[in-house]
């Protein structure tokens, strides 16, 4: 902790001014005061000054619009920090990209110049840059993307940087964060990766000495500037009180990154307004001190800049007056990118002679040959991934397979950055359990991009992972967490199985614009693709992502079992046993697409069987079975009997015998069928 009681000499400004809280002031703020007190050269290009005036005029208008009740939500202004935008973002090329945060208006205006579209966006108008949907924190335009989740876009930026590198372009990505965001782990995951890969990524840390209400000394141990050094990343430092020097340092940093190396630029600055609208507990004398030394205020003391300010302010007001009050309708807003629809038409299918692992390897290898990138821990050859799914692809396609640090959020985010820019990307998460670490990236980034940026962005990243137990790996390497992902909007979830050659569905997936989680299964990898038994035939629905229907060769089914993935294969192998134990003729439906769920094939089957058992790999509460049963029951006449089966709601134990009992199994399905028939369950 750097916060210390300092003597008066350290805490006072050069002019001797003291703030009410001086006795407890922290050293970082004393440093800000020292920087702001210098006499600096303000001879900047006229267009830079005009741009800073414009940013302030737009933001002040935004605040007044808010007070007038013409804006929703919140606004984080960069008043006081404008030169960080002007001197850094303003020096980037059109083809460079910026990833930004909640305090993004200045960056946006300096990079894109679309200030009118920004005003409209915050007024919620269809003419806004994101059709009024994203508002203040969620902006998107060619070369610019911002998100309100601190740090979330850093790995996405790294993915964009890889995209540029692969194209041989010297365009760069500048990632703006505040110093408070240095508390997020994803910052260090990304710094590490950017250094390892020598990415053209410029980290810009705007240090305004506060994270919301918390002074730097209470949220940042050590110093801001030293953060990137241990990664071997070059560091640059400047401040907004000396904008001419900031321009020079930013230009050096940008050129350095353009030469193909990451850099970390700290910009010391001070926010003159509240954190967002009116939440400001800072000392009034302190704010007044920095306002008096604000470079723009100093420039505006000159009559010619006052005159220019009046013109710009009027131009902004004119724009607001003339904006058309047209808003996106719910109907226009809702459409997502998910493939929907099912089919009642089933046709027999035959599988080639192959193991699931080979088919998956083949599918991912052909995706790479068509330009995709693979990312994951230990996936480089000769190791080829913990389950060897991608073995050999690296050796055959140098430069397309990235073996990654143990940084699951980063892995997912990098895939998203690549996908966003048009490079197909498949991220492997070594064990499904660690999908928990990707959750924010999937939820706050990939699943939302399409809607929150007014349907302008697509992020078809594929995150694949082996779920499931039965290998004795215990509580942290055996779970099936798909139920947490099927609840995410605009995220497709697909499960592969050894019951069917997965290649056609994976090929179809490559054409979909939505992000997708691909569930694989540890125990299923090694299995040979299913060959039907004499009593049951294998059929598939006639859709891009076919559901499998395994039906009795003769007779009418009197129970429908629905499952997916590795468990579906176990059930398929046990159909005769299930029949013998229950005296019910089963029909098994294996779902390929878990989200969006389609009940067409299931409805078709229960219309005959009148009984339904849904077996999922994870635990049942709030699960896939509950969802499917609910859909079926609400669409039928109330005469269907249904049960859900899954793992017991406990961590998966390691001892094999206990694990087998806790996890979902054919025995649990048999018990459920017997229960449906009113008979006693022998396996419970
Ligand atoms: C992951 C996350 N946690 C918390 C917040 C709420 N929040 C918004 S801005 C902010 C402070 C950010 O401080 P800093 O990074 O220094 O940026 P500044 O606001 O100073 O520009 C917080 C805590 C958030 N948006 N995202
Ligand atoms: Mg801050």
> Higher model confidence: residue 7 or residue 289?
289
d(CA 115, CA 105): 9
Q: 389-405 burial string, b = 16+ CB within 10 Å, else e?
A: bbbebbeeeeebbbbbe
d(CA 519, CA 526): 15
The reply to whether ligand 1 has any atom less than 6 angstroms from the CB of 28 is no
Residues 6+ apart with CB under 8 A from 195: 231, 232, 233, 262
The answer to whether residue 7 scores a pLDDT higher than 60 is no
Q: What is the pLDDT of residues 294-310, one digit of tens each?
A: 999 999 999 999 999 99
Q: Which atom in ligand 1 lies closest to the alpha carbon of residue 177? A: 15
Our mutation pick for probing the ligand 1 site, out of 136, 137, 180, counting the most ligand atoms within 8 A of Cβ, is 180
Strands lying side by side in the sheet with 425-428 = 401-404, 373-377, 425-428, 462-467, 516-521, 492-495, 593-595
Q: Which atom in ligand 1 lies closest to the alpha carbon of residue 181? A: 15
d(CA 201, CA 185): 18
Contact indicator for 122, 63 with CB cutoff of 8 Å: no
The residues facing 589 across adjacent strands are: 549, 562
Q: pTM for the whole thing?
A: 0.95
Contact indicator for 514, 490 with CB cutoff of 8 Å: yes
Q: What is the pLDDT of residues 573-600, one digit of tens each?
A: 999 999 999 999 999 999 999 999 999 9
d(CA 531, CA 510): 27
- DSSP assignment letter at 177: E
271 C-alpha to ligand 2 centroid (Å): 8
Q: Is the dihedral of CA 351, 352, 355, 357 positive or negative?
A: negative
DSSP-derived pairing of the beta strands 144-146 and 611-619: unpaired
Q: Topology of domain 35-322, per CATH?
A: Rossmann fold (3.40.50)
The reply to whether ligand 1 has any atom less than 6 angstroms from the CB of 80 is no
Say what the pLDDT of residue 277 is: 83
Phi, psi for 213 (deg, rounded to 5): -105, 0
**Atom 23 of ligand 1, nearest CA residue:** 212
Say what the pLDDT of residue 405 is: 98
- DSSP assignment letter at 182: G
The answer to whether residue 397 scores a pLDDT higher than 50 is yes
d(CA 574, CA 158): 47
* Mean pLDDT across 349-358: 97
- Mean pLDDT over the full length of the chain: 94
CATH number given to 355-521: 3.40.50.970
Contact indicator for 642, 633 with CB cutoff of 8 Å: yes
Q: Angle 427-432-433 (CA atoms, 0-180°, nearest 5)?
A: 125
* Helices 115-122, 105-112: crossing angle, 10 deg rounding: 140
226 C-alpha to ligand 2 centroid (Å): 16
* Mean pLDDT across 382-405: 97
The full set of domain ranges for the chain reads 35-322, 355-521, 536-676
- Locate tokens 């194209």: which residue? 167
Q: Topology of domain 536-676, per CATH?
A: Rossmann fold (3.40.50)
Tell me the two tokens of residue 351: 């599988």
Q: Which atom in ligand 1 lies closest to the alpha carbon of residue 212? A: 11
Say what the pLDDT of residue 12 is: 45
Q: What is the pLDDT of residues 166-175, one digit of tens each?
A: 999 999 999 9
Q: Is the dihedral of CA 623, 626, 627, 628 positive or negative?
A: positive
* Mean pLDDT across 7-30: 54
CA of 181: how far to CAs of 398, 585, 623, 624, in Å? 35, 59, 35, 36
Say what the pLDDT of residue 278 is: 81
181 C-alpha to ligand 2 centroid (Å): 8
d(CA 412, CA 156): 8
Contact indicator for 325, 583 with CB cutoff of 8 Å: no
**Atom 17 of ligand 1, nearest CA residue:** 178
* Helices 575-582, 565-573: crossing angle, 10 deg rounding: 60
Contact indicator for 432, 468 with CB cutoff of 8 Å: yes
The reply to whether ligand 1 has any atom less than 6 angstroms from the CB of 102 is yes
From its phi and psi, is residue 638 left (phi > 0), alpha (psi between -120 and 50) or beta? left
Share of the chain above pLDDT 70, in %: 95
Say what the pLDDT of residue 466 is: 98
Q: Which atom in ligand 1 lies closest to the alpha carbon of residue 178? A: 15
408 C-alpha to ligand 2 centroid (Å): 26
Ligand nearest to the CA of 28: 2
* Mean pLDDT across 358-382: 98
Contact indicator for 22, 12 with CB cutoff of 8 Å: yes
150 C-alpha to ligand 1 centroid (Å): 6
d(CA 310, CA 162): 44
Say what the pLDDT of residue 4 is: 31
Among residues 269, 229, 231, the alpha carbon closest in space to that of 250 is found at 269
Say what the pLDDT of residue 640 is: 94
The reply to whether ligand 1 has any atom less than 6 angstroms from the CB of 178 is yes
DSSP H or E segment with residue 310: helix 303-322
Q: What is the pLDDT of residues 120-135, one digit of tens each?
A: 999 999 999 999 999 9
Tell me the two tokens of residue 118: 């920004």
d(CA 619, CA 645): 8
562 C-alpha to ligand 1 centroid (Å): 45
The answer to whether residue 684 scores a pLDDT higher than 90 is no
Tell me the two tokens of residue 503: 């290649």
The answer to whether residue 289 scores a pLDDT higher than 80 is yes
Say what the pLDDT of residue 113 is: 98
The reply to whether ligand 1 has any atom less than 6 angstroms from the CB of 181 is yes
Alpha helices in 227-283 (DSSP H): 243-258
Say what the pLDDT of residue 352 is: 97
Task: Dump strand ranges (E) for 497-625.
Answer: 516-521, 536-541, 548-552, 559-563, 586-590, 593-595, 611-619
How confident is residue 26, by pLDDT bands cut at 50, 70 and 90? low
Q: Which atom in ligand 1 lies closest to the alpha carbon of residue 81? A: 21
The reply to whether ligand 1 has any atom less than 6 angstroms from the CB of 226 is no
Our mutation pick for probing the ligand 1 site, out of 107, 154, 211, counting the most ligand atoms within 8 A of Cβ, is 211
Q: Which atom in ligand 1 lies closest to the alpha carbon of residue 208? A: 20
The answer to whether residue 18 scores a pLDDT higher than 60 is no
The reply to whether ligand 1 has any atom less than 6 angstroms from the CB of 103 is yes
Tell me the two tokens of residue 374: 């693979």
Among residues 53, 22, 28, 25, the alpha carbon closest in space to that of 294 is found at 53
Q: 211-235 burial string, b = 16+ CB within 10 Å, else e?
A: beeebbbeebeebbbebbeebebbb
Tell me the two tokens of residue 161: 């940087």
Q: How far is CA 328 from the centre of its chain?
A: 25
- Strand, helix or coil at 666? helix
* Mean pLDDT across 208-213: 95
* Mean pLDDT across 101-108: 98
Among residues 489, 525, 516, the alpha carbon closest in space to that of 592 is found at 516
How confident is residue 682, by pLDDT bands cut at 50, 70 and 90? low
Our mutation pick for probing the ligand 1 site, out of 102, 272, 441, counting the most ligand atoms within 8 A of Cβ, is 102
213 C-alpha to ligand 1 centroid (Å): 10
Please state, as a whole number, how many other Cβ atoms lie within 10 Å of the Cβ of residue 356.
27
185 C-alpha to ligand 1 centroid (Å): 14
Identical fold at 35-322 and 536-676? yes
Residue 610 burial class via C-beta count within 10 angstroms: exposed 0-12, middle 13-18, buried 19 and up:
middle
Tell me the two tokens of residue 527: 């299995």
């Amino acid at each position: 902790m750097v916060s210390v009681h300092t003597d008066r000499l350290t805490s006072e400004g050069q002019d001797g001014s003291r703030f009410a809280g001086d006795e407890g002031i922290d050293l970082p703020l004393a440093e800000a005061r020292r920087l702001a007190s210098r006499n600096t050269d303000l001879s900047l290009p006229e267009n830079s000054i005009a741009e800073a005036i414009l940013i302030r005029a737009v933001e002040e208008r935004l605040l007044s619009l808010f007070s007038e009740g013409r804006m929703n939500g919140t606004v984080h202004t960069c008043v006081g920090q404008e030169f960080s935008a002007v001197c850094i973002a303003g020096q980037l090329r059109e083809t460079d990209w910026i990833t930004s945060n909640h305090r993004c208006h200045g960056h946006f205006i300096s990079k894109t110049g679309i200030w009118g579209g920004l005003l409209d966006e915050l007024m919620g108008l269809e003419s806004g840059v994101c059709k009024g949907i994203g508002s203040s924190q969620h902006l998107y335009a060619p070369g610019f993307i911002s998100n309100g989740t601190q740090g979330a876009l850093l790995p996405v930026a790294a993915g964009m940087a890889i995209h540029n590198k692969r194209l041989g372009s010297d365009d760069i990505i500048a990632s703006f964060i505040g110093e408070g965001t240095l508390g997020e782990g994803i910052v260090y995951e990304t710094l590490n990766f950017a250094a390892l890969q020598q990415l053209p990524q410029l980290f810009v840390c705007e240090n305004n000495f506060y994270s919301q209400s918390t002074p730097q000394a209470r949220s940042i141990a050590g110093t801001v500037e030293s953060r990137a050094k241990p990664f071997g990343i070059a560091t640059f430092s400047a401040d907004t009180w000396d904008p001419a020097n900031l321009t020079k340092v930013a230009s050096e940093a940008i050129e350095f990154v353009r030469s193909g190396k990451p850099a970390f630029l700290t910009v010391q600055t001070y926010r003159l307004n509240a954190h967002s609208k009116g939440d400001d507990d800072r000392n009034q004398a302190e704010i007044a001190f920095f306002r008096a030394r604000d470079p723009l205020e100093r420039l505006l003391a000159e009559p010619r800049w006052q005159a220019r300010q009046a013109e710009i302010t009027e131009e902004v007001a004119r724009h607001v007056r003339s904006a058309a009050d047209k808003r996106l309708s719910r109907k226009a807003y809702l459409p997502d990118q998910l493939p929907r629809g099912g089919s009642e038409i089933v046709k027999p299918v035959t599988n080639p002679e192959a193991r699931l692992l080979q088919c998956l390897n083949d599918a991912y290898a052909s995706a790479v040959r068509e330009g995709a990138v693979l990312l994951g821990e230990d996936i480089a050859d000769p190791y080829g991934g913990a389950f060897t799914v991608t073995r050999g692809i690296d050796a055959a396609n140098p430069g397309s397979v990235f073996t990654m640090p143990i940084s699951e959020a980063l892995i997912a985010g990098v895939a998203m950055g690549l996908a966003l820019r048009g490079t197909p990307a498949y991220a492997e998460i070594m064990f499904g359990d660690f999908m928990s670490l990707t959750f924010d990236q999937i939820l706050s980034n990939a699943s939302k991009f399409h809607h929150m940026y007014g349907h302008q962005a697509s992020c078809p990243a594929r995150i694949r992972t082996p779920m499931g137990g039965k290998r004795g790996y215990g509580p942290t390497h055996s779970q099936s967490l798909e139920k947490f992902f099927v609840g995410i909007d605009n995220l497709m979830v697909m499960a592969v199985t050894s019951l069917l050659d997965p290649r056609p569905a994976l090929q179809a997936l490559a054409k979909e614009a939505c992000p997708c989680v691909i569930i694989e299964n540890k125990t299923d990898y090694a299995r040979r693709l299913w060959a039907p038994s004499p009593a049951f035939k294998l059929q598939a629905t006639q859709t891009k992502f076919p559901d499998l229907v395994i039906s009795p060769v003769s007779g009418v089914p009197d129970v429908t079992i629905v499952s997916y993935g590795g468990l579906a294969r176990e059930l398929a192998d046990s159909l005769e046993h299930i029949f013998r134990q229950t005296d019910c003729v089963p029909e098994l439906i294996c779902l390929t697409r878990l989200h969006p769920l389609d009940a067409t094939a299931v409805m078709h089957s229960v219309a005959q069987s009148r009984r339904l058992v849904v077996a999922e790999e994870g635990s049942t509460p709030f699960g896939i079975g509950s969802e499917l049963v609910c859909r079926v029951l609400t669409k039928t006449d109330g005469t269907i009997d249904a049960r859900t089966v899954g793992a017991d709601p406990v961590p998966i134990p390691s001892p094999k015998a206990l694990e087998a009992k806790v996890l979902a199994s054919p025995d649990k399905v048999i018990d459920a069928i017997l229960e449906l028939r009113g008979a006693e369950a022998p396996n419970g």
